[in-house]
Amino acid sequence: MSLTQESIKKLNQIANILKGCQNILFITGAGISADSGLPTYRGIGGLYNSKITDEGYPIEAALSGQMMSNQPAVCWKYIYQIEKNCRGAKHNRAHEIIAEMERHFSRLWILTQNIDGFHHSAGSKNIIDIHGDVHKLVCTNCSYKKTVEDYSGIQIPPCCPDCGELVRPDVVLFGELLPTDKCQILGRQLDKGFDIVFSVGTTSVFPYIAGPVHQAKYGGRCTVEINPAETEVSHIVDYKIAAGAAETLEKLWKIYKNAD
């Protein structure tokens, strides 16, 4: 979806507001990685459009913490399929622009639901990957940790080389709690406040994803949504840009820099 003249007009207004901002929050979801070839959630490339796995489980049950504990081979089977389907994809221009903005502004943080690690690979530092990173593996018993480029060559389910117990991705599976340490970081940053909040490529169905947008809006701060579709926060944001993340952020950043 190309940017309309109305969207470009809004981007000019947002760029002007950015001139007076130093504290920025980006909230990102699967839509920001769409230009990298990664599909947005439901099904991960059509793998799970039927919602039922080969074993007869709903995909949410197969990818749950309980399944990882009780039948790790089943859980790992579908985690492996997701990773394989996305293998070879890399961060895109949207991730790069946010990283550039982090180096430009005094304080910029990213709250992402994505487990693809693209914000890290693009060079961003202040990242709260609230759902984890599929490339980081941890032992369920000891302190063993390992970061991998992909899952090729990994025995499924993998065992810890130190203690022999199950190794799993360091991600939040269905039915599991969010990591306390990351929630605490998010809370501290929200308490400091942000001048502007961007919601990019997320449906904002989770309270901890929509919450910062509501907090900013009712605190009199600027709110922006970049998403081709209507979402849970579309009706409250100050600026809604119905377009893709890479195209929109590329244009916004160009307008901002050319105004210097």
- 166/131 Cα distance (integer angstroms): 20
Which position among 119, 131, 214, 235 bears the catalytic label? 131
CB neighbours of residue 71 within 10 Å = 15
For 147, phi then psi, to 5°, come to: -110, 130
Cα gap 204→81, rounded to integer Å: 25
Burial class of residue 241 in the structure, from the number of CB atoms within 10 Å of its CB (0-12 exposed, 13-18 middle, 19+ buried): buried
Instruction: Give residue 99's Cα distance to chain centre.
Output: 14
| 28 residue type, one letter | T
Distance of CA 97 to the CA centre of its chain: 15
120 is catalytic: no
Residue with tokens 């840009």: 241
Catalytic residues: 131
